[in-house]
């Protein structure tokens, strides 16, 4: 009888630990865990006694002693603080596939109810997690679904922790920080990767929701492992997110963190691409989906800038129509007027007839007209706030974003509250004018001003910068009525994915090797955004009077990033005209950006610099871009397996010169200083 009772008790214990749904469990000294499987061979093991969890991949513990940490007003609350824990399991079918949702419900007298949620799918080597608080008067501006004091990627060597910027302003750079013998601390915006460069094993963590929170990812440790790891909603830093105040609070009867992506991958690059794709699934585009071919075009800011005139613009149209007949995709190219198009109109309230005449002229030449605007900035704020804004009787002073009793000034412009009716009326006025002119593309700029945290917004239901950004961008996109291809310039890197077809990958770039290296730093560590948007872009490509090698480098940066936008002033005589005719009528080069997918880096161990090798398979060919940013010749030795292809013998062709050759096991290639090559390797 005693033995039967013992085994019944043991069976009941097992059922409580692994099977019972909704069973409330008071802490005991017994070890009771939930095993949550995902992917091919990964598990989350949640301890119902301690309120902590661990993450395993192939039975190796990747993350240890993880827990949720939140603030309710100023009180910090951890999942480890609760006394009663129960869990619920449910089958789900959503945009990620068929999976399971595990909800851990934590309660304790005197604390709001906490819920930790895990979303897992057998077809994905990653999971999502989030945390929420429920109760009367919950108020938070810090919510971390994952905090840990131990993580390991099981790969010693050249271990890196990646800093990802919030936006692409101020010439900010990505930084793959080396984790050597001394502890290295890194706080990244929205996402980070901790990986080893040679083996490429890596851990990817980041938010896939950006409509409420700004997310931070903190990592600290050495190449032996991490001693601190956390992912939280509520991150602000003036040097990164541009905010001059704390993150706004969310309040109500229930407050939820951003949903966080967690995955351990054999190749950190594949992991970041999976993260990029997950963002687009989790937050589908609000703008209409672009189904036409990859856009090619020209933008006036590359050289002309404030000297923009109708005559110069028309001559550039003629150059593309007459001299660059092969610079097309979908039988067209976009001719985009950047800032100072109001030189045509005599001001924003002026006569738009000349602007319409330009748009009509583009179409008559088989080209598409593009235009520019920064909808959430006041560039004339130094003239005072009593000026009347376009489209209404509201004064600019009423529309300014309020921060600490002052205003949000950045990049020489003052931020406008995206929720203010004056801002909306101004959007109505300008966008209606541009639509009436017949523009088919718009470059929108300085969008980060709309994401600034504020003391208060006109719409009192909006309390965070990202909520304001969503309100402003949705209003803007709605007013375009699907008429224009939307290109985002300076803007948040991830949150803009819902609102733009094209995103510029870095800040401004022009013609020099230095410009190109800066741009390619962003491609090196941010190329995966090619899956967040329809396309990413390397900014206008300017040849000017640079040497041939520098022009090949600059063009290569555009070819391997996504779309291709040129920037010389082709209305003026100069060597750049002949350079363009030579390079931009090369159909084998132009075939590369027609794929619309950015190249991935071969290496990720260059800190704030760019590596020199980028690769992408297009069709049955592998394309390898080799860049030499230095002034001296360089000899490259590249094993083929490092490029992701079998060791064998292949036909190859260098596309700038047209030279054919063969590769056997290892690619050995000498490149001039300040030059670039693109090698097409036939895989058939």
Domains of the chain: 14-282 (2.70.98.10), 374-500 (3.20.20.70), 601-682 (2.60.40.1180)
Q: What are the tokens at 652? A: 């190859």
Question: Which residues does 289 contact at the CB level (< 8 Å), separation at least 6?
Answer: 534
Per DSSP, what are the bridge partners of residue 206?
191, 261
Q: Residue 181's pLDDT is what? A: 82
Q: How far apart are CA 667 and CA 648, in angstroms?
A: 11
Question: Which residues does 531 contact at the CB level (< 8 Å), separation at least 6?
Answer: 273, 276, 277, 279, 280
Per-residue pLDDT, averaged over 33-59, amounts to 96
Kindly tell me if the per-residue pLDDT of 407 is higher than 80. Answer: yes
Local confidence band at 255 (pLDDT 50, 70, 90 cut-offs): very high
Local confidence band at 623 (pLDDT 50, 70, 90 cut-offs): very high
Query: Other CB atoms closer than 10 Å to residue 150's CB: what's the count?
Result: 17
Kindly tell me if the per-residue pLDDT of 5 is higher than 50. Answer: no
Q: What are the tokens at 625? A: 């871009």
Kindly tell me if the per-residue pLDDT of 7 is higher than 90. Answer: no
Q: Are 593 and 564 in contact (CB under 8 A)?
A: yes
Q: How far apart are CA 369 and CA 294, in angstroms?
A: 16
Q: What are the tokens at 130? A: 């989030």
Long-range contacts of 469-473 (CB under 8 A, 24+ apart): 469/418, 469/495, 470/211, 470/495, 470/498, 471/418, 471/419, 472/375, 472/376, 472/418, 472/419, 472/423, 473/286, 473/418, 473/447, 473/498, 473/499
Local confidence band at 10 (pLDDT 50, 70, 90 cut-offs): very low
What pTM was estimated for this model as a whole?
Answer: 0.94
Percentage of the chain surpassing pLDDT 90?
Answer: 92
Q: Give me the torsion for CA of 515, 518, 519, 521, rounded to 10°.
A: 160
pLDDT in tens, 103-135: 999 999 999 999 999 999 999 999 999 999 999
Q: Are 229 and 146 in contact (CB under 8 A)?
A: yes
Per-residue pLDDT, averaged over 467-476, amounts to 98
The helix, strand and coil proportions of the chain, stated in percent and rounded to the nearest 5, come to 25, 35, 40
Kindly tell me if the per-residue pLDDT of 418 is higher than 70. Answer: yes
Q: Residue 20's pLDDT is what? A: 36
Query: How does the average pLDDT of the chain come out, rounded?
Result: 94
Per DSSP, what are the bridge partners of residue 299?
336
């Amino acid at each position: 009888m005693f033995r039967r009772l013992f085994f019944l008790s043991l069976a009941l214990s097992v059922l409580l630990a692994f099977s019972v749904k909704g069973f409330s469990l008071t802490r005991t000294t017994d070890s009771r865990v939930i095993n949550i499987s995902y992917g091919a061979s990964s598990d989350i093991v949640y301890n119902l006694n301690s309120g902590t969890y661990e993450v395993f991949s192939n039975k190796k513990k990747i993350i240890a002693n993880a827990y949720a940490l939140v603030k309710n007003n100023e009180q910090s609350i951890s999942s480890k603080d609760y006394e009663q824990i129960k869990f619920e399991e449910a089958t789900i079918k959503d945009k990620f596939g068929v999976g399971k949702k595990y909800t851990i419900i934590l309660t304790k007298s005197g604390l709001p109810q906490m819920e930790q949620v895990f979303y897992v799918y057998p077809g994905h080597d990653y999971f999502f997690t989030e945390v929420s608080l429920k109760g009367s008067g919950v108020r938070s501006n810090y919510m971390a679904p994952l905090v840990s004091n131990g993580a390991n990627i099981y790969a010693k060597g050249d271990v890196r922790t990646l800093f990802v910027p919030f936006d692409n302003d101020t010439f900010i750079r990505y930084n793959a920080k080396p984790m050597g013998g001394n502890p290295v601390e890194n706080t990244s915006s929205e996402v980070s990767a901790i990986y080893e460069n040679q083996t490429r094993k890596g851990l990817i963590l980041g938010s896939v929701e950006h409509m409420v929170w700004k997310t931070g990812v903190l990592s600290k440790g050495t190449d032996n492992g991490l001693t601190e790891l956390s992912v939280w909603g509520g991150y602000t830093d003036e040097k990164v997110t541009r905010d001059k105040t704390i993150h706004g609070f969310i309040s109500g009867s229930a407050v939820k963190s951003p949903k966080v992506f967690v995955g351990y991958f054999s190749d950190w690059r594949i992991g970041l691409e999976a993260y990029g794709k997950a963002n687009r699934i989790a937050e589908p585009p609000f703008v209409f989906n672009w189904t036409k071919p990859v856009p090619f075009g020209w933008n006036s800011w590359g050289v002309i800038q404030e000297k923009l005139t109708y005559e110069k613009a028309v001559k550039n149209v003629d150059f593309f129509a007459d001299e660059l007949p092969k610079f097309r995709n979908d039988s067209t190219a976009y001719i985009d007027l950047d800032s100072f198009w109001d030189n045509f109109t005599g001001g924003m309230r002026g006569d738009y007839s000349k602007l319409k005449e330009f748009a009509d002229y583009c179409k008559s030449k088989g080209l598409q007209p593009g235009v520019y605007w920064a909808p959430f900035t006041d560039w004339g704020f130094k003239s005072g706030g009593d000026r009347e804004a376009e489209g209404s009787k509201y004064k600019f002073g009423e529309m300014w974003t309020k921060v600490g009793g002052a205003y949000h000034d950045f990049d020489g412009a003052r931020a406008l509250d995206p929720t203010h009716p004056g801002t909306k009326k101004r959007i109505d006025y300008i966008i209606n004018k541009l639509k009436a002119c017949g523009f088919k593309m718009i470059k929108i700029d300085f969008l980060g001003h709309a994401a600034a945290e504020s003391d208060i917004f006109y719409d009192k239901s909006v309390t965070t910068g990202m909520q304001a950004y969503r309100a402003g961008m949705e209003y803007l996109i709605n007013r375009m009525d699907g008429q224009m291809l939307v290109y985002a310039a300076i803007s948040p890197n991830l949150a803009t994915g819902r609102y733009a077809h094209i995103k510029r990958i870095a800040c401004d770039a022009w013609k020099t090797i230095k410009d190109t290296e800066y741009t390619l730093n962003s491609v090196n560590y941010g190329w995966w955004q090619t899956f967040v948007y329809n396309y990413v872009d390397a900014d206008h490509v300017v040849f000017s009077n640079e040497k041939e090698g520098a022009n090949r480098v600059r063009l290569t940066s555009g070819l391997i990033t996504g779309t291709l936008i040129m920037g010389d002033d082709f209305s003026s005589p100069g060597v750049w005209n002949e350079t363009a005719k030579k390079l931009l009528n090369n159909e084998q080069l132009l075939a590369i950006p027609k794929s619309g997918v950015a190249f991935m880096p071969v290496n990720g161990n260059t800190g704030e610099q760019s590596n020199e090798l980028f690769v992408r398979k297009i069709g049955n060919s592998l394309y390898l871009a080799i860049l030499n940013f230095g002034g001296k010749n360089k000899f490259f030795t590249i094993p083929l397996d490092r490029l992701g292809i079998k060791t064998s013998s292949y036909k190859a062709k260098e596309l700038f010169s047209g030279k054919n050759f063969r590769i056997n096991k290892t690619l050995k290639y000498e490149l001039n200083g300040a030059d670039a090559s693109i090698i097409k390797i036939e895989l058939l």
